[in-house]
Amino acid sequence: MAVSVEDIKKLKELTGVGLTDAKVALVEADGDFDKALDAMRKKGLTKAEKKADREALEGVIDSYVHGGRIGVLVEVNCETDFVARTDGFKEFAHQIALQVASMSPIYVSEADIPAEELDRVRTEAVESGAAEGKPVDIAEKIIDGQVKKYFADKVLLNQQYIMDDSKTIEQYLKETIGQVGENIIIRRFKRIELGVND
């Protein structure tokens, strides 16, 4: 099946793959652009997971100030200075700063939640009685669900991406890793709001 040059270029831009890979994906999808894009994203996510163990010590610190009332600093790391200087990487870091300004997360990932805070929320979930009288396995799922829901908006990687609510920040991160070809880590952030103490 013949595929258009415009579709090949568009797929290349959206996924960060080479022209040949974009063409192959479109041919395999019988010219269906959305199907090819979905296939390329899945491949990108797989590549991203393989890169997750690689050390990332380069990167940028990005800042964003909203109306003089909210200020954000974020540190986003990658593996090489070359990638750190690319527009795509800088744009990703800036989008993360915008996300933090808008959605006020407390933690980067679930691993950053202190054990005592997790225990406190779990205890509250148990005491709420929502799982009372349920079989043990179902009760555990209910409690786990309540804990996960409590932290959903407080963990940056779990938040819905404000520019595309069809994906989370973690999915956006993995897509970007697939595009740049290096491991990327959102290391830390600081959000300051006028008149609000930490």
Provide the residue ranges of all domains of the chain, joining segments of one domain with +: 5-51, 58-108+154-193, 114-152
Q: What pLDDT sits at residue 136? A: 75
The overall longest dimension of the chain from CA atoms, in Å, is 62
Phi, psi (deg, nearest 5) at residue 46: -65, -45
Per the prediction, the chain carries an average pLDDT of 84
Structure-token pair, residue 41: 């994203």
What is the average per-residue pLDDT within 10-23?
A: 70
Q: Are 74 and 61 in contact (CB under 8 A)?
A: yes
Give bridge partners of residue 8 from the DSSP assignment.
none
Domain 5-51 has CATH 1.10.1030.10: no
CATH class of 58-108+154-193: alpha beta
pLDDT in tens, 111-161: 899 999 988 988 888 787 766 777 777 878 888 888 888 888 899 999 999
Name residue 120's amino acid.
Answer: R
| Contact indicator for 108, 134 with CB cutoff of 8 Å | no
